[in-house]
Amino acid sequence: MILKLLSYIIEIPIETRNSDHSPKLRVTLKRGRYALGTNNVYYSHEDQYSSFKQAFAQLQPTQRDTNRVLVLGYGLGSIPHILHKHHNIGAHYTAVDIDPVVVGMAQRYGNLPNDSVVHWINSDALSYVTYSNEQYDLICMDVFVDDTIPEAFLRMEFLIEAVKLLKPGGKFLFSHLTSTPARQAKAKNYLEDVFKSVFPNATYIDTEAGNWVLVGEKNV
């Protein structure tokens, strides 16, 4: 309790681990919540993870249309935290993360809501999307290596495979860093040239936190 209170004043280091898939990973206590990140970016911050917190605030998901969720790049589980705490949603989650260090940290610090069920898959997200036959109401794409999205996930082929896993009317959310003019221009070009080729009516949510969350919906 003392550490949590102190974390509203300073960020408190909890654990640092080396990883084969990411720069040095660190878990900290920040404003009373566990955060996962590198020296450059945060991957997760419980229900205060600003990109998806603000995206869901605009989309206003409900339990009726958010029963099965695929999370590509799980972090410490911010997405189930946000959906539970701010939208009263308890869903079944498939959590895909290639990094066993991240998976271990998530299991130690994730503190999931009781009504959320998580099926862990320690795998490359591209392989999972390509070979899975599951169907989801919502797919959240949050895969970064430090502050970069791996090139394979920016190709149209990835989106074509991903849309197959969506139920009719299901949504695909894709987080992009837009913290500089160059990053914002890159995200805008991707939206217009690639994302809208698969999701013609796609739009984006400017989270005002250095992220755009692109939003696509599978036609009914």
Residue-wise pLDDT for 44-101, tens only, equals 999 999 999 999 999 999 998 899 999 999 999 999 999 999 999 989 999 999 999 9
Instruction: State how beta strands 203-206 and 211-217 pair.
Output: antiparallel
pLDDT, mean of residues 151-176: 97
Q: Is the pTM value of this prediction over 0.75?
A: yes
| CA gap 73, 58 in Å, rounded | 22
| CA gap 216, 58 in Å, rounded | 14
Percent of the chain scoring above 90 in pLDDT: 83
HSE (CB half, 13 Å, CA atoms) of 58? 16
Torsions phi, psi for 193 (to 5 deg): -90, -25
Domain 47-217 architecture: 3-Layer(aba) Sandwich (3.40)
| CA gap 65, 63 in Å, rounded | 6
What are the contacts of 153-161 at 24+ separation with CB within 8 A?
153/125, 153/126, 154/190, 154/194, 155/194, 156/194, 156/197, 156/198, 158/126, 158/129, 159/194, 159/195, 159/197, 159/198, 159/199, 159/216, 160/198, 161/129, 161/130
Torsions phi, psi for 137 (to 5 deg): -80, -30
Q: How confident is the model at residue 36 (pLDDT cuts 50, 70, 90)?
A: very high
Give the pLDDT of residue 39: 87
Q: Could you report the per-residue pLDDT of 89-128, keeping only the tens digit for each?
A: 989 999 999 999 999 999 899 877 676 789 999 999 999 9
